[in-house]
Chains A and B, each alone.
Chain A
Amino acid sequence: MTAAEERAVIDRVRRGETEAFEALVLDNQKKVYNLALKMTGNENDALDISQEVFIKAYTGLHNFRAESRFSVWLYRMTYNICVDFIRKKQRTPVSSLTYTDDDGEYMDLEIPDTRYEPAVEAEKRELREALSRGIDELPQHHREIIVMREMTGMSYEEIATTLGISEGTVKSRLSRARQNLVSLLNSYGTFSKSGRHKTGKEVEGHG
């Protein structure tokens, strides 16, 4: 759906055409659900939250202002509802690995070998599976920023607004999150190890 089409649909819903809203659900459900899924780690919770997001979007549609993308508005709502949910559930990190945090030193990052080229489908599938597992094992603040950027395609500015942090912090946190992710993928053997860049020291992450 183009931005113009989206606006037209929103206008129709605002005028009382409830059924038009379904097109907005269909257009955005996948990314909203995946964001919730990666944040909660549970399919049922993610479905409940996704449903809540769309119903809140519907009832609060007058609050949506066209200067932001409708999808991003939904992602922000998803994020906030997930944060509330996680706080209530006190979800604990699933991994005990050490991570580099946003302000700490750079860790010993094993740089993947350049020979890695996921040319064939089997390798691509392997990468997808490893990536999904790796994202799940990241500490929450790294997992959420990776999902926002890589899976929902939010801009730095949109992420900054959603998380209530500066764009500078978005840049550095995303960088650290990616380094952690590469380390995890290395540990699964997804990327060949070359063992270079042993420059920093490992620091405990913030879970």
Chain B
Amino acid sequence: MADCKKYMDMISCYADGELPEQEQKLLLAHLDGCASCRALLSAYRSIAEAAEETLVQVPDGFAAGVMEKIRKLPRRRSGGWKAVRPVIISFAAAAACLALVFTVSPQRFDFGRNKAKMSARVEAPDMADTAERGTDSVLMDSAVPEAGSGEFGGTEAAKSDEESLFLYEAAGASADVETPQTGMATATDSPAPNGAATDGQPVDSTSQVTRHPGVKLGIAGVDENTLVIYYAVFTFEGALPDHVTGVEKTDRGGGLYSLVVTADVARELINEGYTNYVIGNEDAETALVYYTED
């Protein structure tokens, strides 16, 4: 019966109808002479049959409650939600990104002529408060900083300002935002996939950042030499999912790493339902992923 061990996964697969034909032949031959494995298959099938029936009903009025909340969401004046960008932001993650970037290795950042402004942002006083509130909010608790506030933690003014929600979007779509094309530029051994030439000069996007608070969230992806604003910045507590691959892996110290991925990978992650991200600039072609390794 020791032989049965190697059929365990096959039985499970077979019960799901997912066993390749070749293995099916092997398994069926074994099942033919093994009552125990036949019994196991039968048990798996009983479980499968009963499982669907164990689903409990959702309390009455659930869908109505959801719709009521949805109706109360701030809406664009021009119509529906079609053009609304991902504003499902975990502000805890946003704050964490900023905190990570600037606490892990602040000396690595050559702030250059923007030093004063950047420093001011690092010291934004209400970050913890923002994070806490963001954690508990169901979604986009209007905590997008007010335009021109220049402070990450400026949620008070924005809180009740319906319009501020969409400044975020406007930032990404704004034609005058000089989209940084240098996401991969610092990886000298990795050609930028978009073919963008890089002159190695810092991209001066600070003024845009100040004018467009939404973009400012992407400042978490600031590079050492170029003020790159990424499509989005993700944070993973732990290892990356297998399918997330990229270039320019950077050791941020203390087990923290960052990886530059394409915006397509970022969109895929968002599509898969990952919620710990901050959108930077939607026109950017790269995104940054923070993760940890033991």
- Interface segment out of the listed B52-60, B99-107, B207-215, B219-227: B52-60
Q: Interface code A152-178, partner B: CB below 8 Å = 1, 0 otherwise?
A: 010110000110111000011011001
Q: B247 at interface (Cβ–Cβ under 8 A)?
A: no
- Interface segment out of the listed B116-124, B156-164, B190-198, B271-279: B271-279
**A132: chain B residues within 8 A (beta carbon):** 54
Asked if A14 and B80 make an inter-chain contact with CB atoms under 8 angstroms apart, the answer reads: yes
On whether A16 and B55 interact (CB within 8 A), knowing A79-B273, A81-B275, A175-B12, the answer reads no
Q: B204 at interface (Cβ–Cβ under 8 A)?
A: no
Asked if B274 and A80 make an inter-chain contact with CB atoms under 8 angstroms apart, the answer reads: yes
Asked if B273 and A55 make an inter-chain contact with CB atoms under 8 angstroms apart, the answer reads: no
On whether A199 and B241 interact (CB within 8 A), knowing A55-B66, A181-B47, the answer reads no
CA distance A33 to B62 in the complex (A): 10
CB distance from A16 to the nearest CB of B (A): 3
| Nearest CB in chain B to that of A74: its residue | B273
Asked if B16 and A118 make an inter-chain contact with CB atoms under 8 angstroms apart, the answer reads: no
**B88: chain A residues within 8 A (beta carbon):** 56, 59-60
- Interface segment out of the listed B69-77, B176-184, B255-263: B69-77
Cβ 8 A contact of B51, one of A68, A79, A80, A151: A151
Which parts of A166-207 form the interface with B (CB within 8 Å)? Answer: 166, 171-172, 174-175, 178-179, 181-182, 185, 191, 194, 196-197, 199-200
Asked if B271 and A34 make an inter-chain contact with CB atoms under 8 angstroms apart, the answer reads: no
Q: B109 at interface (Cβ–Cβ under 8 A)?
A: no
CA distance A24 to B262 in the complex (A): 31
Asked if A106 and B5 make an inter-chain contact with CB atoms under 8 angstroms apart, the answer reads: yes
Asked if B69 and A16 make an inter-chain contact with CB atoms under 8 angstroms apart, the answer reads: no
Q: B170 at interface (Cβ–Cβ under 8 A)?
A: no
CA distance A47 to B62 in the complex (A): 8
Cβ 8 A contact of A112, one of B39, B55, B271, B273: B39
**A114: chain B residues within 8 A (beta carbon):** 35, 38-39, 42
On whether A60 and B270 interact (CB within 8 A), knowing A14-B80, A55-B69, A55-B70, the answer reads yes
CB distance from B39 to the nearest CB of A (A): 4
Q: A91 at interface (Cβ–Cβ under 8 A)?
A: no
**A81: chain B residues within 8 A (beta carbon):** 275
Q: A29 at interface (Cβ–Cβ under 8 A)?
A: yes
CA distance A180 to B262 in the complex (A): 40
Asked if A76 and B272 make an inter-chain contact with CB atoms under 8 angstroms apart, the answer reads: yes
Cβ 8 A contact of B80, one of A17, A135, A171, A199: A17
**A31: chain B residues within 8 A (beta carbon):** 55
On whether A26 and B81 interact (CB within 8 A), knowing A131-B47, A178-B12, the answer reads no
Which parts of A33-66 form the interface with B (CB within 8 Å)? Answer: 33-34, 37, 47, 50-52, 54-56, 58-65
Cβ 8 A contact of A178, one of B47, B82, B84, B139: B47
Q: B175 at interface (Cβ–Cβ under 8 A)?
A: no
Q: Interface code A107-148, partner B: CB below 8 Å = 1, 0 otherwise?
A: 001011110101000001001100110010000000000100
**A68: chain B residues within 8 A (beta carbon):** 271
**A79: chain B residues within 8 A (beta carbon):** 273
Q: B201 at interface (Cβ–Cβ under 8 A)?
A: no
Asked if B138 and A55 make an inter-chain contact with CB atoms under 8 angstroms apart, the answer reads: yes
Q: B36 at interface (Cβ–Cβ under 8 A)?
A: yes
On whether A194 and B43 interact (CB within 8 A), knowing A62-B84, A128-B53, A171-B9, the answer reads no
Asked if A26 and B70 make an inter-chain contact with CB atoms under 8 angstroms apart, the answer reads: no
Count chain A CB atoms within 10 A of each CB in B8, B237, B274 and give the residue with the most.
Answer: B8
Mind listing 9 A-B residue pairs with CB under 8 Å?
A29-B63, A50-B62, A64-B271, A113-B39, A116-B42, A116-B43, A124-B50, A150-B52, A197-B40
| A-B pairs, 4 with minimum CB distance | A16-B80, A164-B241, A76-B273, A150-B51
